[in-house]
Chain A
Amino acid sequence: MLKKRLIACFLIKNDLIVQSIRFNKYLPIGNPKFPLQFLNKWDVDEIILLDISAHKEKRKLNLKILENLSKSCFVPLTVGGGITSVEDVRQFIRNGADKVSINSSAISDPKLITKIADIFGSQCVVVSIDCKLDKDGIYRVYKDSGKISTNLIASEWAKEIENLGAGEIFLNSIDRDGSKIGYDVKLIKKVTNAVSIPVIACGGVGNFSHFAPGILDGKASAVAAGNIFHYIEHSTIIAKMNLLQSDIDIRMDSEATYKGRQFDKTGRLMMMSKEDLSKIEFTKGKQDLI
């Protein structure tokens, strides 16, 4: 059966990967090339690349960078940042994107979703939604990097973009972004209940135990995060082993799997006991069957 997905989301600002905190503070991490290469080797299922300042600066993501990144990416690459027309989509795809993500333009010009889907197919259109829990207890959609409220209710907007032809929803919680306290599962549930297209949950992952509730309780088809993957060796593999230990079916092709290892409450890998360490011995590998 179809497996759940673990997705890494790279936010790009001034051509560098940044860490985002509540959509208003950004810490530079560095050249996107290196994390992209590492995560590819570490069994990530998909990568989403978003230029977060492109729309505001009325330009598009740097196509040269996209072309270079795509060369070392062998998992699906979704790309967003400043798309306002079908022609933009064509250019992104020509330079190595497999899918595109639109956000602000979907709100100002909803017909664009249908136009892109008509030509490139629904599966190519990921509509990204940034949501915030308003004081009246209703989740609403925000635009322009989460600064301006649109008065659209999250679940209703999700339904509408599905009808317009979107293939997937990339759901981000502004309140949880960079908070490290876990997904807003209530928000995820509201949106997954409203639509029948796959929903990707994002925003708030602070440790590796935070991924599973997005799928088990939120019913998301894929779980995404950004910041957490940058600082730990084998980050995506460890995230996946946590998901597998929660009985979630996810692809694990890597040689290093951390199978049978213990994780603490926050999903961090624990030391092996001296007894277990002493049992480890070298065995000759079999012929490589992929």
Chain B
Amino acid sequence: MKNLINIKIIDYGMGNIQSVKNAFELFDSKVEIISDPSNIKNADGIILPGVGAFSNAVKNLKERKLIEPLKEAVINKKVPLLGICLGMQLLADKSEERGNNEGLFFIPGEIRKIPHKEGLRLPHVGWNEVTIKKKDPLFKNIIDKGSFYFVHSYRFECDDEFVVATTDYGQKINAVVRKENIFGIQFHPERSQRKGLHMLANFISYIKDTKV
């Protein structure tokens, strides 16, 4: 029997988890949606999806006692983690969305509202070109300036050292961030057609390559 990669999608009550699960099920992996903290243990890769408001997300993660097991897996055991959209923003230290709220402190950075500019509508919704700034396993065999689907009003601000790719919406927006085994994607790879699915496949390859 093949040794399938265990992908655990964290359900904290507010993500488009089904869409994410559908996408991962296309690949060689065993995908499970979990909300019970004890289930994080045997994960080979963790997905933190998310659609919604930052403060609610943090509150839900706390209520479900998911934060400590996440830290244990991701920081201590170095299990690869992929945060998508709000899930990516949760990786930061704090967010100014609806008052100041602390995040997971996984990648140093802050979440701030995209500054309003004349002629640019918010939220930033639609397909936008992504410029690759750094060679990364997530972008293996994916062309530079490909289009991916974004939908958000806040952005992840951090040091360039963590930035893998950016997009331009009248101003620079970080599209992909990474610190060691922790990845964050601002757009929705699960809904970005072939290129997006390819990125998710790349994430699985990364897990396989780094798995001891």
Kindly report which residue of chain B lies nearest to residue A93, judged by CB atoms. Answer: B16
Report the separation of the CA atoms of residues A154 and B151 in the bound assembly, to the nearest whole angstrom. 25
Could you say which of A121-129, A203-211, A229-237, A271-279 contacts chain B? A121-129
Residue count of chain A within 8 Å CB distance of chain B: 45
Residues of A within 8 A of B (CB): 1-5, 40, 43, 45-46, 67, 70-71, 73-77, 90, 93-99, 117-124, 167-168, 196-198, 221-222, 251, 253, 288-290
Closest chain-A Cβ to B188's Cβ sits at a distance in Å of 7
Closest chain-A Cβ to B52's Cβ sits at a distance in Å of 5
In contact, A123 and B18 (Cβ under 8 angstroms)? no
> B110-154 CB contact bits vs A (8 Å, 1 = yes)?
000000100001111111110000000000011100110111110
In contact, A121 and B86 (Cβ under 8 angstroms)? yes
> A253 with B193: in contact, given A98-B19, A197-B123 (CB under 8 Å)?
yes
In contact, B124 and A2 (Cβ under 8 angstroms)? yes
> B137-175 CB contact bits vs A (8 Å, 1 = yes)?
000011100110111110000000000000011100000
In contact, B128 and A71 (Cβ under 8 angstroms)? no
In contact, A123 and B125 (Cβ under 8 angstroms)? yes
Report the separation of the CA atoms of residues A78 and B93 in the bound assembly, to the nearest whole angstrom. 31
Q: Could you say which of B116, B170, B191 contacts A75, with CB atoms under 8 Å apart?
A: B191
Q: Does chain A have a CB within 8 A of B42?
A: no
B127 cross-chain contacts in A, Cβ below 8 A: 2-3, 5, 45, 251
Q: Could you say which of A2, A121, A251 contacts B51, with CB atoms under 8 Å apart?
A: A121
In contact, A93 and B125 (Cβ under 8 angstroms)? no
A1 cross-chain contacts in B, Cβ below 8 A: 128-129, 168-170
Interface centre among A76, A95, A222, A288 (most CB of B within 10 A): A76
Closest chain-B Cβ to A123's Cβ sits at a distance in Å of 4
Could you say which of B2-10, B101-109, B194-202 contacts chain A? B194-202
Kindly report which residue of chain B lies nearest to residue A95, judged by CB atoms. Answer: B18
Q: Chain B: interface secondary structure?
A: mixed
Q: Does chain A have a CB within 8 A of B23?
A: yes
Closest chain-A Cβ to B35's Cβ sits at a distance in Å of 12
Q: Could you say which of A45, A98, A117 contacts B188, with CB atoms under 8 Å apart?
A: A98
In contact, A222 and B126 (Cβ under 8 angstroms)? yes
In contact, A251 and B147 (Cβ under 8 angstroms)? yes
Once A and B bind, how many residue pairs between them come within 8 Å at the CB atom?
A: 136
A119 cross-chain contacts in B, Cβ below 8 A: 14, 52-53, 56
In contact, B22 and A96 (Cβ under 8 angstroms)? yes
> A74 with B197: in contact, given A120-B14, A123-B151, A289-B141 (CB under 8 Å)?
yes
> A76 with B53: in contact, given A45-B127, A98-B16 (CB under 8 Å)?
no
Can you spell out 8 A-B residue pairs with CB atoms less than 8 angstroms apart?
A1-B170, A73-B19, A74-B23, A93-B51, A98-B188, A118-B56, A123-B125, A253-B195
Closest chain-B Cβ to A41's Cβ sits at a distance in Å of 9
Q: Does chain A have a CB within 8 A of B44?
A: no
In contact, B149 and A76 (Cβ under 8 angstroms)? yes
Report the separation of the CA atoms of residues A2 and B197 in the bound assembly, to the nearest whole angstrom. 20
In contact, A74 and B51 (Cβ under 8 angstroms)? no
> A124 with B52: in contact, given A198-B121, A290-B194 (CB under 8 Å)?
yes
Kindly report which residue of chain A lies nearest to residue B17, judged by CB atoms. Answer: A94
B194 cross-chain contacts in A, Cβ below 8 A: 74, 253, 290
Closest chain-A Cβ to B97's Cβ sits at a distance in Å of 9
B53 cross-chain contacts in A, Cβ below 8 A: 117-121
Report the separation of the CA atoms of residues A247 and B22 in the bound assembly, to the nearest whole angstrom. 35
In contact, B51 and A98 (Cβ under 8 angstroms)? yes
In contact, B123 and A2 (Cβ under 8 angstroms)? no
Report the separation of the CA atoms of residues A124 and B56 in the bound assembly, to the nearest whole angstrom. 14
